[in-house]
Structure 1
Amino acid sequence: MSLLANILGFSAFGLAARVGQLGIQRRNLLDNPGGHLISMGVFGFAGYWAYQWDQRAAVLLSEKRAEIAERRQKELAQTEAAAVVALEEA
């Protein structure tokens, strides 16, 4: 998911939350447009933060997977070396 889509999606959710809030209070939905903008901005920032967090988590996961694969290769090489030594001794 792209950054823009993430921000716009969260902003739309913020707008829906604000409209829902005003609907529960039975107030005019277009009474204070500044409140809508603030809600959309806050939720849009949450979308930006969620996107950045997701990207960082993907990098950390790929680094960890590479580290695990490297460790498995070393263990496999050590096991093979031990098997060769055991066969030569037998």
Structure 2
Amino acid sequence: MGLLSNVVGFSLFGLMARMGQLGIQRRNPLENLGGHALSMAIFGGAGYYAYKWDIRAAELIAEKRVEIAARRQGQREGAEA
């Protein structure tokens, strides 16, 4: 469910950014629906890659913690000897 909510959240942010852009230009917000769809698709893709990046970063941090714990254990054993 995390991936879906991340992609939908980013795509809704893209829609709001597009609506804000047209509001600043004082144009009709429903003028070009293809532009809305494109903006939502781009931001949704960014949300997908942000989710994948977050998962990969968590894996790398977990691997690094295991590595640090093993190194500390080795230092403790070396100090006791």
Post-superposition Cα deviations, 1:4-56, rounded to whole Å, max 9, x if no partner, equal 01000000000000000000011111111000000000000000010000000
Post-superposition Cα deviations, 1:58-83, rounded to whole Å, max 9, x if no partner, equal 000000000000000000011111xx
Structure-2 residue corresponding to 1:66: 66
Structure-1 residue corresponding to 2:54: 54
Structure-2 residue corresponding to 1:4: 4
Gaps of 5+ in 1: 82-90
TM-score (norm 1): 0.88
Distance 1:2 1:79 in 2: 45
TM-score (norm 2): 0.97
When Rg is computed on C-alpha atoms for both structures, the one with the higher figure is 1
Greater relative CO (CA pairs within 8 A, separation 6+): 2
Give the superposed CA RMSD. 0.9
Identity %: 64
